[in-house]
Amino acid sequence: MLEIDRIDVSYGRLQVLFGLELRIPAGQVVALMGRNGMGKTTALRAIMGLVPVGTGTIRLRGADITNRPSHRIARAGIGLVPEGRRIFPNLSTRENLLAAAANRRHAAAPWTLERVFDLFPRLAERADLSGTQLSGGEQQMLAIGRALMTNPDLLILDEATEGLAPLARQAIWSCLARLKAEGLALLVVERDIKALATLAESCVMIEKGRVAWTGSGIDLAADPALVQKYLGI
């Protein structure tokens, strides 16, 4: 569904991505992995149109979305759950969910406030609280719900379980499994190899802005040397 063809991305004179290639088939889960500063977040930002792509193309369902304004890319069906969650602090939980809600591509069973509250009952209890009054885990649920309300068919999650308590991590992972079961494609930046082994069809290791290794989550979990080499853990 999403095809990234040999993209280069630079911040000024500093080149971060070198001919990066990535494929995300419809309904599949792809994990982007690698140490900090290897270009994972930059790759996600390039897909969303938040950093300019130098050369190369990004296609969504065959349509070229390279360097389109980010609101057009989002409207084409990509939902972003950004690093650090970035909840709107001056909006309530309910407003965070409603502000960008839309069903532009006429999904048959669109995400609604009720469905998001059903997925995350905690958010329903906190509907009228400001986004900043939520716990880290709840904020993460809110960021996911906010992206779902735009009814994407690809959800991008940048470090969605980073810094969360074990219980909250578990809640996010089971939510992602449920979303996958509903047919949503996921692109995740993650380092939890155990969780990825059961969820991700493909894991892509990035080193210095290039794809260094690609394989399934199961392959990765079975090869500690590989994990040591690319992630240092």
Partner 1 sequence: MILALEQILNGAQLGLMLFLLAAGLTLVFGIMNLVNLAHGSLYMMGAYFAVTLIDWTGSFVLGALLALPAVLLLGIAVEVICLRRLYARSHLDQLLATFGLLLFFNDLVLVIWGKAGRTIALPGWLRTSVEILPGVPYSAYRLLVIAAGLVVALGLWFTISRTRIGMRIRAGASDREITGALGIDVASLFSLVFGVGAMLAGLAGILNAPILTVQSGMGERILVIALVVTVLGGIGSVRGAFVAALSIGLLDTLARAFLPDLLKVVLPASAAQTAGAAAGSMIIYLLMVITLAVRPQGLFPVRAR
Q: Which residues bind partner 1 (CB under 8 A)?
A: 48-50, 69-71, 73-75, 79-80, 82, 86, 88-91, 95-96, 98-100, 102, 104, 132, 146-147, 150
Give min distance, CB of 75 to partner 1, in A.
Answer: 5
The helix/strand/coil state of 22 is: strand
- The Cβ-side half-sphere exposure at 53, using a 13 Å CA radius, reads 25
Give the number of other Cβ atoms within 10 Å of residue 146's Cβ: 28
**CA separation for the pair 108, 119 (Å, rounded):** 18
**154-158 and 78-81: which strand pairing?**
parallel
Give min distance, CB of 78 to partner 1, in A.
Answer: 9
**CA separation for the pair 25, 230 (Å, rounded):** 24
**Residue type (1 letter), 4:** I
Indicate the residue among 49 and 209 with the shorter CB distance to partner 1: 49
Helix, strand, coil shares, percent, the chain, to 5:
35, 25, 40
Give min distance, CB of 231 to partner 1, in A.
Answer: 27
The helix/strand/coil state of 24 is: strand
**CA separation for the pair 84, 164 (Å, rounded):** 11
Indicate the residue among 153 and 217 with the shorter CB distance to partner 1: 153
Give min distance, CB of 204 to partner 1, in A.
Answer: 22
Indicate the residue among 88 and 213 with the shorter CB distance to partner 1: 88
Give min distance, CB of 37 to partner 1, in A.
Answer: 21
Indicate the residue among 90 and 198 with the shorter CB distance to partner 1: 90
Indicate the residue among 9 and 226 with the shorter CB distance to partner 1: 9
What is the per-residue DSSP string for 178-208?
A: HHHHTT-EEEEE---HHHHHHH-SEEEEEET
Give min distance, CB of 65 to partner 1, in A.
Answer: 13
Indicate the residue among 73 and 226 with the shorter CB distance to partner 1: 73
